[in-house]
Amino acid sequence: MTDIDDSLDARISSECPVGVQAILRAAWRHDVDALKPLLDAPGKASCRDPVTGETPLHAAIRSLGPVDEEESAEVQAEKEAKATRMVERLLFGGAIWNDVDTNNETPGCVAWRLNQKELYDQMVRAGARAEMLFAILDGYEELESDGDEEEDDEEMGEAEAEAEAEETANGTNGHEAEAEEEVPEDEPGTDAPVSEETSYLESHLTLADGKLVDSAGNGVMMEWEADIMRRSVDAMLGGPPEDESTKGKRVLNIGFGLGIIDSMIAARQPARHHIIEAHPEVLARIDAASSNPATAGDDHAAEFGAAWESSGPEEGAFKVQRGRWQDMCPKLLAEGELYDAIYFDTFGEDYSELRRFFTDYIPGLLNDDGVFGFFNGLGADRRVCYDVYTRVVEMHLSEAGLDVAWNDVDVPLAQDGLDKAGAGAWEGILRPYWTLDKYRLPVCTFMG
Ligand SMILES: C[S@@+](CC[C@H](N)C(=O)[O-])C[C@H]1O[C@@H](n2cnc3c(N)ncnc32)[C@H](O)[C@@H]1O
């Protein structure tokens, strides 16, 4: 990481308007009394220095500096208490939790870098609250039939400011199509419209060096994830693979990609194995590779052609369901299919689709003692977003009647060539969608 100058002079520029400077300086000093009269109009708590992108939240956290191990616990606690009070005041005033500054840091990133654990946790809680609120507002908007938008905007007030957070740094599933505009304060949005997904399904895919890449250069699936796939299979079906009890299960996998997880599932000799895949080129690869296995090399696509489908213990037991899960799942439900394990790993869809899947379909498709897993890449290009989305998805899973246990998996970034954008594993990939040294693997079961 490049050295960051956290001094007040470096962060509040001479070009910063006087009114904004006053707010930033009050936040920096943790002077709540001075701040209060300055927040005299909506939006002021999220003002920013036009040169450095410093917001009052950044200032309030940054001014604490790194944790000083020499300092007594009492002094530290006192400073921390003043800072958390200021941060709380700013959040109540509508401050945005995930604005990024010119160092590409959110306030939570600053807290993490300075080892200010309490402040970091405060930002994670704030982020989770904002994202939960956003999810509610999103649903509320969908329900409207003849709303007057202007009127709604006025009414939303503070909530609108929260929702705006969605437009800045936020959590995304790594496996999302994100032909992102390179705007610093506009990190990948979770809210890809349906048309964006449609365009992914229409885009041309290339497969090279163990990377499946869409036409915009986004990594759809990469070999480095094989370890995560293996551990997900172990978590869903129980391990080790030789164990007889892991065989004979009914499994649904959504999203074929490179077929990595399906190959691992097939090795467990399931009684039923259904795969839902929507992209015509992924499906065409399965057809081509399986009809010509001699030239397919180690392409897993070769394992899942017509011969595989007819090798099942009964008609329809092994099947690639060709289409979008949104269209195929209602059909599977109507046919009374029930699975012991369901894995969900799509691409080009935002978080609301994952939520919709586990809320609408898991209750009907998963056996009572079954296990649901998904690729947890939500917000994985930024630690604070990953932590926020862990909380958000946990709350939404709970609303859907699911408990989740998280298994931490080490991701050896340097060893896997994941530590440098544009190089190693990321060569030829537009944007690294994974930057963290730990993967939080979800194992979801019904409550009670
Ligand atoms: C990240 S890859 C899956 C990788 C897979 N887990 C593996 O081990 O190789 C995502 C896959 O989901 C597919 N997909 C995207 N949207 C889908 C949808 N709505 N329904 C079904 N499949 C979809 C993509 O075409 C892609 O093949």
Q: What is the pLDDT of residues 360-383, one digit of tens each?
A: 999 999 999 999 999 999 999 999
Instruction: Give the orientation angle of helix 351-360 with respect to helix 117-143, to 10 degrees.
Output: 70
Number of the ligand 1 atom closest to the C-alpha atom of 325: 20
H/E run at residue 196:
helix 194-202
CA of 346 to the centre of ligand 1 (A): 4
Q: What is the dihedral of CA 294, 298, 302, 303, to 10 degrees?
A: 120
Please give the distance, rounded to the nearest whole angstrom, from the Cα atom of residue 229 to the centre of ligand 1: 13
Which of 377, 381, 378, 438 shows the shortest CA–CA distance to 408? 438
pLDDT above 90: residue 192: no
Confidence band, pLDDT 50/70/90 cuts, at residue 283: very high
**Measured from the CB, is residue 219 less than 6 Å from ligand 1?**
no
Q: Rounded to the nearest whole angstrom, what is the distance from the C-alpha of residue 277 to the centroid of ligand 1?
A: 6
Q: Which fold has domain 197-446?
A: Rossmann fold (3.40.50)
Q: Does the structure show a pLDDT above 80 at 119?
A: yes
**C-beta of 324 in contact with ligand 1 (< 6 A):** yes
- In one-letter notation, the amino acid at residue 234 is D
Local structure of 215: helix, strand or coil: coil
Return the pLDDT at 240. 79
In angstroms, what is the span from residue 279 Cα to ligand 1's centroid?
Answer: 8
pLDDT in the model for residue 136: 85
Q: How far is the CA of 239 from the centre of ligand 1 (A)?
A: 24
**What's the gap in Å between 257 CA and the centre of ligand 1?**
5
**Closest atom, ligand 1, to C-alpha of 300:** 9
Q: What residues does each domain of the chain span?
A: 8-130, 197-446
The finding on whether 264 has its CB within 6 A of some atom of ligand 1 is no
The Å distance, Cα 136 to ligand 1 centre, comes to 27
Supply 331's token pair. 């059909």
CB 18 within 8 A of CB 49: no
pLDDT in tens, 333-360: 999 999 999 999 999 999 999 999 999 9
Count of Cβ atoms closer than 10 Å to residue 420 Cβ: 13
Cα–chain center distance at 327? 24
Residues 6+ apart with CB under 8 A from 143: none
Tokens of 26: 């009050």
Q: Tokens 């530290």 belong to which residue?
A: 76
Q: Does the Cβ of 347 fall within 6 Å of ligand 1?
A: yes
What are the start-end ranges of the E strands in 223-271? 250-254
Class of domain 8-130: mainly alpha
Q: What is the pLDDT at residue 295?
A: 80
In this structure, of 289-293, 320-324, 400-404, the range with the lowest mean pLDDT score is 289-293
177 Cα distance to chain centroid? 12
The answer to whether the Cα torsion of 287, 288, 289, 293 is positive or negative is positive
Going by the DSSP 8-state scheme, the letter that residue 313 receives in this structure is S
Reading the block at residue 299, the tokens are 């392409």
pLDDT of residue 200: 94
Q: What is the mean pLDDT of residues 259-281?
A: 97
180, exposed or middle or buried, with CB in 10 Å at 0-12, 13-18, 19+? middle
**How would you label 307-317 residue by residue, b for 16+ Cβ within 10 Å and e otherwise?**
ebbeeeeeeeb
139 vs 103, higher pLDDT: 103
Which ligand 1 atom lies nearest to the CA of residue 257? 27
Determine the distance separating the centroid of ligand 1 and the alpha carbon of 228, expressed in angstroms: 15
* Pairing mode, strands 402-410 and 250-254: unpaired
- What was the pLDDT predicted at 146? 47
- pLDDT band with cut points at 50, 70 and 90 for residue 249: very high
Residue minimizing CA distance to atom 4 of ligand 1: 257
Q: Which of 116-125, 280-289, 294-303, 330-339 has the lowest mean pLDDT?
A: 294-303
Distances (CA, A) of 50 to 21, 47, 108, 186: 11, 9, 20, 15
Encode 316-357 in three state secondary structure. CCEEEEECCHHHHHHHHHHCCCCEEEEEECCCCCCHHHHHHH
As a whole number, the mean pLDDT across the chain is 88
Q: Is the CB of 328 under 6 A from ligand 1?
A: no
Question: Fold match between 8-130 and 197-446?
Answer: no
Q: Are strands 211-213 and 206-208 parallel, antiparallel or unpaired?
A: antiparallel
Q: Find out whether the beta carbon of 325 lies less than 6 Å from any atom of ligand 1.
A: yes
| Token duo for residue 126 | 């704030």
Structure tokens at 345: 């790993």
Mean pLDDT in residue range 133-151: 60
Nearest C-alpha to atom 18 of ligand 1 is from which residue? 324
Helices (H) and strands (E) in the chain, counts: 19, 10
